[in-house]
Amino acid sequence: MSQSIQRAAEILELVSLRPRTQSEVAEHLGVHRSTALRMLQTLTEAGLTRRHADGHYGVGYRLAGLASVAAEQFDLRNISRPHLASLGRECLHTVHLAVLDGSAIVYADKIEQPGMVRLYSQVGQPVVLHTAGVAKAILAFQPAAVVDRMLATHAFTRYTETTLTSRAAYDAELDRVRSRGWSVDDAEYEDYVNCVAMPIRDARGNVLAAVSVTALKARADLAALEQLLPRLDEVVSDVSRAIGWRP
């Protein structure tokens, strides 16, 4: 809508990766050098960028200050709620939000549908790491060290026929999840419940949460749930963008 502001935002994105000279910024934006300089000067006056001694422009201190204000207000649950709710209304299944919280993954929100069988999950409770779709969607995108730490003392208890009961099998599944971008719980915890899940990325691109659509197999089996993946992808993309993620 507003070209100059768009360009300003682009400059911030550019110099946040690494400080740039006025010429580099000009070239990146496709504008004249003097134009880029004028914009950089304005941004610098505002403290959003700052000029380094070597003539490169980087991110300014004021931006860090504003960022901390934003960080204080961070509230994933409230941000994602409307997106999850509309997803729930559309597909009429239960929608979960789970977040990585220290050494556990816990349900942070749950959208239920009226007149449905209640699922066992409860907000605030830790998920079962080796069966829950959300756990796989989150762990698939964590550094190996984090996965190791979380699974170090984890027992791969068998709950159903499809439960993954070894770390090796689980790791293989995480590989699959990582490459295709979504995960399932194929009746691995209760043999009549299955789900699909996708990860949410934060402002740094890290995966710290996931959304799942869960249903009784009798109501919607895996094949049916997979039909919802495009819509689920939309939802997690929207939420990721809303919390500052950019592709």
Partner DNA sequence: TCGTTTGTTGCATAGGCTGCAACAGGTGTG
Partner DNA sequence: CACACCTGTTGCAGCCTATGCAACAAACGA
Indicate if the alpha-carbon torsion angle 42, 44, 49, 52 is positive or negative: positive
34 binds, among DNA, a copy of itself, none (CB under 5 to 8 A by kind): DNA
Report if residue 153 touches a copy of itself, rule: CB under 8 A.
no
How does DSSP classify residue 116?
Answer: -
Q: Could you list the residues that contact DNA (CB under 7 A)?
A: 1-4, 7, 21-24, 30-35, 37-41, 51, 54-55
In the complex, least distance from residue 5 CB atom to a copy of itself, rounded to whole angstroms: 4
In the complex, least distance from residue 183 CB atom to DNA, rounded to whole angstroms: 29
Q: Which two tokens stand for residue 40?
A: 């950089």
- How far, in Å, CA of 140 to CA of 200, rounded? 12
In the complex, least distance from residue 42 CB atom to DNA, rounded to whole angstroms: 8
Q: Where are the alpha helices (DSSP H) in the chain?
A: 3-17, 22-29, 33-45, 61-72, 76-91, 133-139, 144-151, 167-180, 222-226, 229-242
Per-residue string for binding with a copy of itself, 51-90, x by CB under 8 A? x-x----xxxxxxxxxxxxxx-xx-------x--------
- How far, in Å, CA of 191 to CA of 189, rounded? 6
Q: Which two tokens stand for residue 151?
A: 């699974």
Residue ranges that bind a copy of itself, judged by CB under 8 A? 1-6, 8-9, 12-13, 15-19, 38-39, 41-48, 50-51, 53, 58-71, 73-74, 82, 99, 101-102, 106-108, 122-125, 202-204, 241-246
